[in-house]
């Protein structure tokens, strides 16, 4: 018997073929996949209403080679996506998992749209950092809440059982690591035990667990966590108790653009369309085009951990395509200035410094000078008056380390061979973002949640349907 798990006495309140822990994107996609294969899964969700980090997200799912891309004349291939992921992760991501996820990405988005009527559109008009093609697929609102709503509607149509208020607390497993079932707790203190032939861990990472953050990501332990608080690292802890390997536990996704004090994510589209980020002294401090994840660290290193996004009317209009941006505007997060001096006064930044910063970016844009931080300003028009600004801070969005898996989303044991019937995806598994904050390519979170959910569902279905030992 493994520490932290126990052998079952063989009696369970109910028996299901596959238990899925967590009802976010990963869990719901795994469930839909199993239902399509004729297997009735049970999704166990600790909250009264499944939301997860997926529901808090912008719902942007990268995928390559989709009919939505083709309809817009976008050429994108598995090879291009693999290249972009590994370029950002400096080659540190597991090549087999990257290849599997990239290969699954197009078909999975098409399956969600065509077979399960989850409404997704291609986000065009600009490239996210590190992308060689427009490949974000998102609900028209660009809100994860709508991705969750669409996925839950699909689950209902597929008659998938989602047990809510069901916090899984323990896996039952024998010496061989085979999971026989799990225990869940109800809000009233009651407990139930469920037997199963396979388990999919879709309960995300440890962003909500301050002790685990202090151990693995001490630099962000005191930063604001913007993800779902119920993600407490359970998958990692159960997996470890079963002898599973973990990897890249210090990796995470940050974001350098959370409106403060409003607590609203401001889309990075502002920066990719020509906006800049300055500190309270009026100076830029990094290239805004490397990635929004590592920008969190740079923003938090500025005085007060604060910075201002600066943009103009053209970008203001683009921002309004994003529901969250409109929320921020309605909440009064946007300051305005008819010219540099009045904006400087509105945001309490020294006017000469802001004027100099803007003049520098104009020189970068027309090729008179080169940005010392390495951003290419020649691809967008320089900022023009009137100007606008939003005060932001950096935050931790979700952890990227987790259970090591193979290309079939099977959790690997200490010797590198798969555990008998345990699968993981999304934030529960080690991601494809390398070992550090800089390795996160835009959209890696939902890329691995959705596609590893799909792959885990397929692997578990194969195990059940063929009665195979995985
Ligand atoms: C503000 C924000 C914006 C983001 N925007 C994007 C984006 O646009 N694109 C992108 O790719 N990524 C984005 N991300 C990251 C993305 O949201 C996550 O990577 C993704 O949602 C993870 O999906 P998941 O299914 O693994 O986890 P989740 O969606 O968090 O689901 C996990 C579920 O498991 C449940 N759970 C946890 N423990 C237990 C337990 N013991 N028992 C039962 N249930 C349990 C939780 O309640 C939760 O519902 C964003 C993140 C944040 C915070």
Q: What confidence score (pLDDT) does residue 467 get?
A: 76
User: Does the residue 7 lie in any domain?
Assistant: no
Which CATH number fits the domain that encloses residue 330?
3.90.700.10
> What is the number of H-type helices and E-type strands within the chain?
15, 20
Residue 273: pLDDT over 70 = yes
How far does the centroid of ligand 1 lie from the alpha carbon of residue 201, in Å? Answer: 12
Q: Are 288 and 307 in contact, with CB atoms under 8 Å apart?
A: no
Bridge partners of 172, per DSSP, are 6, 181
Q: Which two tokens stand for residue 264?
A: 């609203």
Q: What confidence score (pLDDT) does residue 8 get?
A: 56
pLDDT-derived band at 466, boundaries 50, 70, 90: confident
The model carries a pTM of 0.95
Rounded to whole angstroms, the Cα distance separating 364 from 90 reads: 27
Q: Are 193 and 183 in contact, with CB atoms under 8 Å apart?
A: yes
Q: Is there a single domain that holds both residue 181 and residue 235?
A: yes
The boundaries of the domain holding residue 69 are 14-250+402-466
Q: Is there a single domain that holds both residue 43 and residue 119?
A: yes
Q: Is there a single domain that holds both residue 140 and residue 75?
A: yes
User: Does the residue 9 lie in any domain?
Assistant: no
For the Cβ of 418 lying below 6 angstroms from any atom of ligand 1, the answer is no
Q: Is there a single domain that holds both residue 120 and residue 258?
A: no
- Mean residue pLDDT across the chain: 95
Closest CA to 274 of 358, 177, 348: 358
Which CATH number fits the domain that encloses residue 194?
3.50.50.60
The owner of tokens 């290193």 is 301
| CA end-to-end distance (rounded Å), the chain | 20
Q: Is there a single domain that holds both residue 32 and residue 143?
A: yes
Q: Are 47 and 76 in contact, with CB atoms under 8 Å apart?
A: no
Q: Is there a single domain that holds both residue 309 and residue 430?
A: no
125: which DSSP letter?
A: S
Residue 7: pLDDT over 60 = no
User: Does the residue 5 lie in any domain?
Assistant: no
**Which of these three, 396, 411, 435, is where a domain ends?**
396
How far does the centroid of ligand 1 lie from the alpha carbon of residue 231, in Å? Answer: 8
Rounded to whole angstroms, the Cα distance separating 314 from 305 reads: 28
Question: To test the ligand 1 pocket, which listed residue (41, 398, 424, 455) has its Cβ within 8 A of the most ligand atoms?
Answer: 398
For the Cβ of 267 lying below 6 angstroms from any atom of ligand 1, the answer is no
Closest CA to 33 of 470, 466, 460, 463: 460
How far does the centroid of ligand 1 lie from the alpha carbon of residue 388, in Å? Answer: 32
Rounded to whole angstroms, the Cα distance separating 242 from 235 reads: 11
Mean pLDDT of 127-139: 97
Mean pLDDT of 78-98: 98
**Which of these three, 357, 380, 396, is where a domain ends?**
396
Closest CA to 376 of 453, 272, 248: 272
Residue 324: pLDDT over 90 = yes
Residue 317: pLDDT over 50 = yes
DSSP 213-240: HHHH-GGGTTSEE-S-TT--SHHHHHHH
Percent of the chain with pLDDT over 70: 97
User: Does the residue 1 lie in any domain?
Assistant: no
Q: Which two tokens stand for residue 43?
A: 């999704």
Distances (CA, A) of 151 to 59, 121, 320, 322, 395: 11, 15, 25, 20, 27
Q: Is there a single domain that holds both residue 360 and residue 384?
A: yes
Distances (CA, A) of 250 to 57, 431, 432: 21, 11, 13
Q: Is there a single domain that holds both residue 328 and residue 409?
A: no
Mean pLDDT of 24-40: 98
Q: What confidence score (pLDDT) does residue 11 get?
A: 83
Q: What confidence score (pLDDT) does residue 175 get?
A: 84
For the Cβ of 230 lying below 6 angstroms from any atom of ligand 1, the answer is yes
98: which DSSP letter?
A: H
Q: Tell me the pLDDT tens digit for each residue of 345-400.
A: 999 999 999 999 999 999 999 999 999 999 999 999 999 999 999 999 999 999 99
For the Cβ of 208 lying below 6 angstroms from any atom of ligand 1, the answer is no
How far does the centroid of ligand 1 lie from the alpha carbon of residue 427, in Å? Answer: 7
Residue whose CA lies nearest to ligand 1 atom number 33: 22
Look at the chain and report how many structural domains it folds into. 2
Q: Is there a single domain that holds both residue 300 and residue 197?
A: no
For the Cβ of 44 lying below 6 angstroms from any atom of ligand 1, the answer is yes
Q: Which two tokens stand for residue 23?
A: 């009802």
pLDDT-derived band at 4, boundaries 50, 70, 90: very low
Q: Is there a single domain that holds both residue 302 and residue 378?
A: yes
**Which of these three, 337, 372, 396, is where a domain ends?**
396
Q: Is there a single domain that holds both residue 194 and residue 260?
A: no
> What burial class does residue 290 get, using C-beta atoms within 10 Å of its C-beta: 0-12 exposed, 13-18 middle, 19+ buried?
middle
Q: Is there a single domain that holds both residue 391 and residue 288?
A: yes
Strands 167-173, 161-163: parallel, antiparallel or unpaired by DSSP? Answer: unpaired
């Amino acid at each position: 018997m493994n520490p932290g798990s126990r052998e079952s006495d063989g009696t369970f309140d109910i028996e299901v073929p596959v238990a899925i822990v967590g009802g976010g994107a990963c869990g719901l996609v795994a469930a839909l996949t199993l239902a399509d294969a004729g297997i009735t899964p049970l999704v166990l969700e600790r909250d009264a209403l499944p939301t997860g980090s997926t529901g808090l997200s912008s719902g942007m799912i990268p995928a390559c080679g989709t009919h939505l891309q083709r309809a817009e004349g976008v050429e994108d291939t598995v090879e291009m996506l693999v290249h972009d992921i590994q370029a950002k992760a400096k080659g540190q991501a597991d090549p087999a998992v990257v290849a599997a996820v990239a290969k699954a990405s197009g078909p999975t988005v098409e399956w969600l749209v065509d077979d399960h009527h989850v409404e997704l559109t291609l986000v065009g008009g600009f490239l996210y950092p590190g992308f060689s093609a427009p490949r974000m697929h998102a609900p028209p609102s660009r809100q994860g809440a709508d991705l969750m709503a669409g996925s839950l509607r699909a689950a209902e149509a597929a008659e998938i059982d989602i047990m809510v208020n069901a916090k899984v607390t323990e896996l039952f497993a024998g010496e061989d690591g085979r999971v026989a079932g799990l225990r869940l707790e109800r809000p009233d203190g009651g407990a139930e035990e469920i037997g199963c032939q396979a388990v999919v861990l879709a309960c995300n990472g440890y962003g909500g667990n301050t002790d685990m953050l202090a151990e693995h990501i001490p630099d962000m332990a005191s930063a604001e966590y913007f993800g779902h608080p119920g993600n407490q690292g359970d998958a990692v802890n159960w997996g470890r108790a079963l002898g599973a390997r973990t990897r890249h536990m210090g990796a995470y996704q940050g974001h350098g653009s959370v409106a403060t004090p409003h607590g609203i994510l401001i889309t990075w589209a502002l920066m990719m369309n020509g906006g800049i980020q300055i500190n309270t002294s009026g100076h830029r401090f990094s290239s805004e085009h490397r990635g929004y994840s590592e920008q969190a660290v740079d923003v938090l290193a500025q005085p007060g951990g604060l910075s201002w996004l600066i943009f103009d009317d053209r970008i203001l209009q683009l921002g309004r395509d994003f529901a969250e941006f409109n929320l921020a505007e309605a909440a009064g997060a946007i300051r305005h200035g008819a010219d540099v001096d009045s904006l400087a006064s509105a945001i309490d930044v020294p006017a000469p410094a802001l004027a100099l910063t803007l003049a520098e970016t104009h020189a970068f844009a027309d090729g008179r000078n080169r940005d010392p931080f390495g951003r290419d300003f020649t691809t967008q028009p320089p900022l023009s008056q009137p100007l606008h600004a939003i005060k932001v801070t950096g935050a931790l969005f979700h952890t990227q380390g987790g259970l090591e898996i193979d290309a079939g989303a099977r959790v690997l044991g200490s010797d590198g061979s798969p555990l008998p019937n345990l699968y993981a995806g999304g934030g529960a598994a080690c991601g494809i973002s390398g070992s550090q904050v800089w390795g996160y390519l835009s959209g890696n979170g939902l890329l691995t949640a959705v596609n590893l959910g799909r792959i885990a569902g397929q692997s578990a279905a194969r195990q059940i349907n063929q009665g195979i030992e995985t």
